[in-house]
Amino acid sequence: MLKEEYLQQLFKALYEKGSLEIYDYTAEIFKPESEEFANTKEWSDQLVRDKLVTYADPEHTILNLTNHGKYWMIKGGYESFLRDGQNTKDHHKDKEDEKDKSLRKEKEELTEARLKLIHYRLIGFWLTLVVSSLGFLLSLYNLYLITQGKK
């Protein structure tokens, strides 16, 4: 049995029952020694990645149908989701990856520019502090000379 056929059956059973233990369901259909039974977890994870179902327990064995999954079940099931939804997701994903790379590069450039500006601000701050301190010391020295010259 193909992966898509199994996911379609699982998806339909979830829609009918609401909540489903994946290993019990798969054991009813396949022998526990079969390859399909071994792939049960991986295939149910695919439905979770597609956000059609969620796990209801921490062991990740009980599936619940999401609202998104109910929508696609009404529209025709998992095969309909693959025809209509999955292809557009993959297409957008490639574009988003390119956008993410360009945005990441742009953010790195902006971060470098900000760091340079902060560096120049710090240099300017310390330079201003030194020049102000020298001016203050010179004014004190000037006052000293003035007071010593009047005596």
- Is 69 a domain residue? yes
pLDDT at 87: 44
- For the chain (length 151 residues), average pLDDT per consecutive 10? 79 85 83 78 85 87 87 84 64 65 90 96 97 97 91 59
Predicted pLDDT at 50: 86
* DSSP 8-state secondary structure symbol assigned to residue 123: H
Q: What is the DSSP string of 24-61?
A: HHHHHHS-TTSHHHHTHHHHHHHHHHTTSEEESSTTS-
Crossing angle for the helix pair 40-49 and 3-17, to the nearest 10 degrees: 70
Q: Is residue 57 part of a domain?
A: yes
How far apart are alpha carbons 73 and 136 in whole angstroms? 80
Q: Examine residue 45 and state whether it is found in any structural domain, yes or no.
A: yes
Q: How many CB atoms lie within 10 A of CB 55?
A: 15
Per the structure, the complete domain to which residue 37 belongs is given by 3-76
The domain spanning residue 44 has which CATH number? 1.10.10.10
Torsion of Cα atoms, 109 then 111 then 113 then 117, to 10°: 180
Are the C-beta atoms of 21 and 13 separated by less than 8 Å? no
The tally of domains found in the chain comes to: 1
Identify whether 105 is part of a domain. Answer: no
Distance CA 101, CA 95 (A): 10
Cα(122)–Cα(125) distance, integer angstroms? 5
Of 4, 44, 1, which is closest to residue 25 (Cα–Cα)? Answer: 44
Specify the pLDDT at position 148.
Answer: 92
pLDDT of residue 88: 44
